[in-house]
Structure 1
């Protein structure tokens, strides 16, 4: 059965829900999130190579401290982004995130020690937690329930296509002009444009959530008056679907930390050039990003659970292929598979949160989910670095592949189908 046509929901100020009713603002927020993704993309190639060639870091655990710093601060900020956006509105949180982003490109381009790089990633984690979380919440506010998967697919597609495009561009700039400062000038432009659009053109969307809440059922498991602590407990542990989504999100970003921090190193040790590494680093988020345009829409039609399970298992196969591969072609295929698996999972997990959480506490549930999800960056950086230092890069890759497969099985067993039209 096709997802139902979005029904406009009136509010006191004439607010309506749905993509068609809010298309200009929705498209604007897609563009803003592309700039958010570009801020992340400027690091995907350059920082693993800078750690070795410029700062002389040889231990993998030390090299991955920037991912640990980014993941830990982004995870914590995600949690507070949901609460702050409920309390003060979405737009002020978005603007604050862009203000924090302004010094990051200069710190990456001219920081004299590795400590400056780590500090820049602390700021990047805070900025990404505020900006990316808020664009997600705002799009959920605007879209309403019927097209939630499509909305999340477009949001995440914009962000990760920008990650891929910026990774490819910075790989080229690094090959031609060196690792610093040229690749980070793109990030400076992104931050300035993102701040300008968010301040001058983006409009507040909190009233859209209130309009949906006014028409939302409040009985059963929704409980519109839950405290933040109760929401965190429910999203993390007691609600089977929300908790299954949270652990899958965490493992997904755990393996993304591996792709970000370890894959460029292993490709370099096998003799690939910076430009070739740039192509591989761009393939994964490019397939991930473009794929979400279809997978978010697909989850609105076939449901969420099976796409998530299949996506996690496909990711596990792709990561194992990196460990087994010995050529550019094999690694390129593995990056395509990893991107496809992630595309199946990423917007669909967010749609699960939107399906289950009541509009009155949905922003906080998104924050808790993203706390777990982006905590995977920190856990992945620590786990991969320690295993690589104690044993080998291949051992780290095989460990993450196994964890990803187990996570998919947890979803298969624990999660219920959450799409309103597909529940049994």
Structure 2
């Protein structure tokens, strides 16, 4: 039987294929960033901000719930099977976005997209963590999220360009058809399962840096431990939720806010693209940095940088286009700081024997943030105007950073261990 070894160098080929797969996974979310809110406003003539943001709420809630069960499903059916299932569920999405005759079709497509993302993105995260072991965990998460969110941003830019040239539908969504076919074929024929790597690491760690031991708990126990009983995991989970609250708010608010301020579709496309592109590319740096200086400093200061980005946009310190671009750069930098560090911190604190389930719980709370951000933005925008949604997001982001500062202890192991075995 083939020798199983942990490490990036030892598993670089599979790691590269998973990075490519996650580019296609992220690109599916990027399809919606620029165009879909404008489809609701201009094509379907929806006047309520909260109703327009309903597609984000549907996506966030469904993705969060799918994240919650994805780890348990992976342990039962293997990581690869769940990855393939994610792509199969996502196949109808670009067709529904391109030709759906009513807004209900757009919401239904986001239900499918949420399931697809919850399965596929969760598996690319778990599989990379399985492959690299504890030594390069931050680096692995940096590359994974860089690939996914870099594709989100570039696709948002591409759809904005296509929409300005050929209309809001269907041209911008042709890209999604290519993504789903390529991602599915790679997942079936190229990607290998990694569950044996996780079993190998589990045999080498008796207790995590948070004192967690090896055992086989049920999902209810893992949910309580990750959500509130373990102080480190609680701090990480609430920071993930607020981080994606920002993303959910910006997803719905920014296109409407900047179009109303006189920014054209291409300009909106740049604003929507620069946030995830900086977010994605920055993680190539912040992921390894999390392995050098620890997880906590990046999480705390990343939340504070995001709060400053909201100030730049909300107070309109520059012309609308430049305020949007500069503020989005700050949001991207701040998110790049926290994202790999948050995932690495969960992986540090949860024992490998139940890590996949704990990551699922963390990603449940994180992606509920999409829905909470959209709900908050819709209510605040209807009552006080779109810009106040930006202000509120900035305030809660700053508070979240303070919570991590007070509650979290550093989770990174002081030394790394190289493990080899035959399983």
- DSSP-derived class of the 1:202 partner: coil
**Which of the residues 16, 21, 25 maps onto 2:10?**
21
Q: Which runs of 5+ in 2 are unaligned?
A: 417-423
Q: In the alignment, does 2:178 pair up with 1:189?
A: yes
**Deviation for aligned residue 1:422:** 8.3
Task: Provide, for residues 354-405 of structure 1, a one-character-per-residue CA deviation record: whole Å limited to 9, x for no partner.
Answer: 1111111000000000000000001111111011111211221111110000
- Tell whether the 8 Å contact from 1:303 to 1:422 is kept in structure 2 after alignment: no
Match of 2:169 among 180, 196, 202: 180
Aligned equivalent of 1:121: 110
Matching residue within 351, 365, 378 for 2:344: 351
2:163–2:172 Cα contact (<8 Å) kept: yes
Partner residue of 2:364 out of 357, 368, 371: 371
> What's the counterpart of residue 87 of structure 1?
76
In 1, the alpha carbon distance for the partners of 2:207 and 2:362 equals 21
SS in 1 for 2:84: helix
The CA distance in 2 between the partners of 1:15 and 1:374, in whole Å, is 33
Q: Tell me the distance in 2 between the aligned counterparts of 1:224 and 1:151.
A: 25
Query: What TM-score results when the alignment is normalised by the length of structure 2?
Result: 0.96
The CA distance in 1 between the partners of 2:277 and 2:121, in whole Å, is 18
1:259 maps to which of 250, 254, 267: 250
**Which of residues 117, 124, 127 is equivalent to 1:138?**
127
Q: 1-side partners of 2:280 and 2:362: how far apart? A: 20
Corresponding residue for 1:342?
Answer: 335
Mapping for residues 26-41 of structure 1, pairs under 5 Å: 26-41=15-30
Distance 1:310 1:172, change over 3 A: same
CA distance in 2, matches of 1:329, 1:422: 44
CA distance in 1, matches of 2:390, 2:404: 22
Q: Provide the C-alpha distance between the structure 2 equivalents of 1:123 and 1:374, rounded to a whole number of angstroms.
A: 15
Instruction: Verify the 8 A CA contact 2:294 2:410 in the aligned structure 1.
Output: yes
What residue in structure 2 maps to residue 296 of structure 1?
287
Aligned equivalents of 1:228, 1:117: Cα separation in 2: 32
1:165 and 2:158 equivalent?
no
> Which residue does 2:274 correspond to in 1?
283
Contact 1:35 1:194 in 2 (8 A): yes
Measured in 1, the distance between the counterparts of 2:137 and 2:295 equals: 11
Equivalent-residue separation in structure 2 for 1:247 and 1:176 (angstroms): 41
1-structure distance, mates of 2:109, 2:155 = 18
Deviations 1:33-73 (A, max 9, x none): 00000000011000011011100011110010000000000
- Shift in Å, 1:225: 2.8
Q: Quick check: 2:304–2:334 contact (8 Å CA) kept in 1?
A: yes
| Runs of 4+ deviating beyond 4 Å | none
1:21-44 deviation digits (Å, cap 9, x = unpaired): 000000000000000000000110
2:235 is the counterpart of 1:244 = yes
User: 1:13 Cα shift?
Assistant: 4.6
User: What is the CA distance between 1:223 and its match in structure 2?
Assistant: 3.8
Which of residues 70, 89, 106 in structure 1 aligns to 2:95?
106
Offset at residue 217 of structure 1 (A): 1.2
SS in 2 for 1:43: helix
CA distance in structure 1 between the partners assigned to 2:380 and 2:326 by the alignment:
25
Question: C-alpha displacement at 1:218, in angstroms?
Answer: 4.4
Deviations 1:190-248 (A, max 9, x none): 00000000011100100000011111114842242322211110000010111100000
TM-superposed deviation, 1:264: 1.0
Which whole-Å CA distance do the structure 2 matches of 1:111 and 1:280 have between them? 26
Verify the 8 A CA contact 1:222 1:356 in the aligned structure 2: no
Equivalent position of 1:6 in the other structure: none
- Trace 1:338-417 onto structure 2 (pairs within 5 A): 338-417=331-410
Q: Distance in 2 between matches of 1:308 and 1:222?
A: 25
Distance in 2 between residues matched to 1:224 and 1:306, nearest whole Å: 30
Residue 5 of structure 1 corresponds to none
